[in-house]
Amino acid sequence: MKKYLLLALVTSLLFSCDSYNKINLYYYDKVFEYQSKEDLKRYSFIASVTVDSVYVTEESRKEQFYKIHFKVNQLFKGDSSINTVSVLSGNPYFALRSQSSCDTYIDKNDKLLLFAYKEYDSKLSTHGCTPTQYLKNTPQTFKSLRKLKRIYK
């Protein structure tokens, strides 16, 4: 009985959200180490943006994504006329809760370093497993911005 109890405890610790996210954070740090345009070729759009609105459509509600409309503050790569991207994941505000480690919560007025890629239908999308990050006054943010300025000078 003790063996089964111990096995259940170890299994729950291994597969809990916190330990899963810690493993993914390490993985993401390695994946997001970009140094050149070649490392970022997957992304069609990279920019510093401010989110104007967050909304869903009937299509997005069915497919578990939502849309953000934004103003481009600084463009690194892509078309400056782009101002809408699909966010592939859950969002509790719209009852789009997929409950996964890729859920991405973006709100109106958020400032983001946005990395988006073209989906099969040529629409731009992003999600929690891209290097998209909130722009804050942190060393990591400044490092990311400096790196992109160097790459796309």
pLDDT of residue 44: 96
Q: What is the pLDDT of residues 20-54, one digit of tens each?
A: 332 233 334 444 678 899 999 999 999 999 999 99
Looking at CATH, the fold of the domain delimited by 35-151 is given as OB fold (Dihydrolipoamide Acetyltransferase, E2P) (2.40.50)
- The mean pLDDT value of the chain amounts to 77
The CA-to-CA distance between both ends of the chain, in Å, stands at: 64
- Tell me the domain boundaries of the chain: 1-31, 35-151
Share of the chain above pLDDT 90, in %: 39
Name, in order, each residue with C-beta under 8 angstroms of 105's C-beta and a sequence gap of 6 or more.
91, 92, 93
On whether the pTM is more than 0.85, the answer is no
Q: Which residue has the higher pLDDT, 114 or 65?
A: 114
Lowest mean pLDDT: which of 8-12, 37-41, 70-74, 115-119? 8-12
Nearest Cα residue to 103 out of 124, 83, 132, 77: 132
Q: What is the pLDDT of residues 97-111, one digit of tens each?
A: 555 666 678 889 999
pLDDT of residue 72: 97
* Tokens found for residue 48: 């510093």
